[in-house]
Structure 1
Amino acid sequence: MKIAVLHGAIINAGDFLIKNRAISLLKYFYPDSEIVEYYRNQSLEEKLPEINACDILVFAGGPGYCNGFYPRMAPVTDDLNKIKIPVMLLGMGWWEHNSDVVSQYSYQFEEPMRALFQKAMEKGLKMGCRDIATVNVLRNNGYDNIAMTGCPAWYDLEHIGITRYTGKGLTSSRKICISDCGNMANWGLAVELT
């Protein structure tokens, strides 16, 4: 199997973790697969023949369930019908400046995002969600073909079989590292956390 992975691992350590863990998960379930990586922040029109030669195209993590993701943040192609292989949305989340419950139930997806969702559901695949807020937003917009997968970064393959917390592990810490997402608007919040 040949898997094309679109990711946002460009400047942010968290995005690199998401990409690495998504690829690890794919290799875990498809050990003989070949993974081909693409940055999602650029047009891939010229790469479409190469991508269409793969078995599946995976959008790996990030704030993918928000207006502007496609085509602004992920301008893969100007026409999603040019993608001839199944599209999987893996562990992506909803992001909005105000993510309270009222916003979750009032948020409406615009046509470009609806087209991406339609492409993802074309082959019967479920759309993977990283959190319950994302599930709420998608369901409110009429999408039920979804799966609460969590974020790829949450998976540690050494402990994938553990189904409950056993209380073992770190009992104290001396240092906590915070990875800013590259948006300076979040700087004040990051400072407050330290």
Structure 2
Amino acid sequence: MKKNPYYVILTGSKNNAGDFLIKYRAKSLFKELRPDREIIDIDGWKPFDEDTLTLVNGAEALLLMGGPALQKNMYPSIYPLVDDLSKITTKIALMGVGWKSHSGLWGDSQSYPLSDKTKILLKRIQSDGLFSSVRDYHTWNVLSRNGISNVLMTGCPATYVTSALDESFVKPENINKVGFSLGVSFIESPEMLDQMRNTILTLKEYFGSDVNFEVVFHHSTKKEFLKTHNATSNHLKSHLKFIDWLGCNDVKHIDISGSADNLINYYSSCDLHIGYRVHAHIFMNSINKASVLIAEDGRGKALRDVFGGLVIDAFNHLDTSFLGKVLRKLKLKSGYKAYNKQHEETLDVIKYEIENDFPRLTASRSSINANFEVMKQFLNKLP
């Protein structure tokens, strides 16, 4: 019997605004480039029941979508799917998936740990024969080193707005609104906490009272956050404590969690983004606006090789040894060697770009457009 013309996509949008943007932009790409297929969106963290399995097996393909899903226990921790992959009879592929490395070194991609079950899933994807898509070259290398060859580096689906492809970077005539996206490494690292605080205060002073300067939270700062899958009380408490500090220092903040619209509407109103959130940086580049990413992990560092732009490393070294991981888990030592003058360097970079018409930001569009051609190739190769 002929299958219905639809794809099932497994997405990870729980609370983080960036995850919602991935799904939103991916669906837009399908609508524009593969209008012959309907899209059925399923929460990727939920195991399949019988009805879901029937739905999946009726699809032209099952696409594991976006986010830093390529982790040691990708299957079954990130994608529970089913206990026996042979129960899935349609073909499986990845779309816009990325790695998750704290230190973000290229060498990490050469010896990236993957569980036996994760390797079983990846081998299944390889044997199914469809091309997969990843969001950066570090992820591509992880898969390549593990014998997964049918992979295209397309960039994250969130990068693409087809109406912006023929436009150029927009140099802001005036900077009236700046959004500073807060990272998450401060939760486990006092060094990164100090860095973020110092950077916020330095930038607030530089832009002055005439500029609307706000710290932006991509995760929820409300108690309802704890109802989110895998949410922790420490995550929420750390964010609320940071908000208290912002209040004591007369710094405004805003919560844009929970939807793509919140992210799109907020950053569209900004003249400049600075900060640690990868999808704030991706979004601003996608609409040709100014952005400076401070990379707090491998997701941000890998993005530098995808479309360039302005990416600054947040730290010089991270102890990734077994002992270092244990000490970090026990909250005895974070292992981060953060650059203690990062706030000064970030300010110098921003001042240079503003004073010289943003030379490093104007080149991103050509790289994004080149990657978009690969994304189109990937989508057109899907059944």
With the length of structure 1 as denominator, give the TM-score of the two structures: 0.85
Structure 2: which amino acid aligns with 1:42? K
In the alignment, structure 1 residue 23 sits paired with structure 2 residue 23 = no
How many correspondences in the alignment? 191
Distance 1:128 1:106 in 2: 20
Contact 2:9 2:39 in 1 (8 A): yes
Which one has a bigger Cα radius of gyration? 2
Q: CA 1:110/1:183 → structure 2, altered by over 3 Å: closer, same or farther? A: farther
Contact 2:94 2:132 in 1 (8 A): yes
Q: Counterparts in 2 of 1:29-178, with a 5 A limit?
A: 29-46=33-50, 47-160=52-165, 162=166, 166-168=168-170, 170=172, 173=175, 174-178=177-181
Q: CA 1:181/1:57 → structure 2, altered by over 3 Å: closer, same or farther? A: farther
Query: 1:141-187: CA deviations, max 9, x gaps?
Result: 23222100101111112134x4xx73445455422252757994488
Distance 1:183 1:56 in 2: 39
Unaligned runs of 5+ in 1: none
Structure 2: which amino acid aligns with 1:159? A
Q: CA 1:15/1:182 → structure 2, altered by over 3 Å: closer, same or farther? A: farther
Contact 2:8 2:41 in 1 (8 A): yes
Contact 2:134 2:153 in 1 (8 A): yes
Unaligned runs of 5+ in 2: 200-274, 277-383
Structure 2: which amino acid aligns with 1:176? G
The structure whose residues are more often helix, as a share, is 2
Q: CA 1:166/1:125 → structure 2, altered by over 3 Å: closer, same or farther? A: same
Aligned identity (percent) is 31
Structure 2: which amino acid aligns with 1:28? E
Contact 1:13 1:179 in 2 (8 A): no
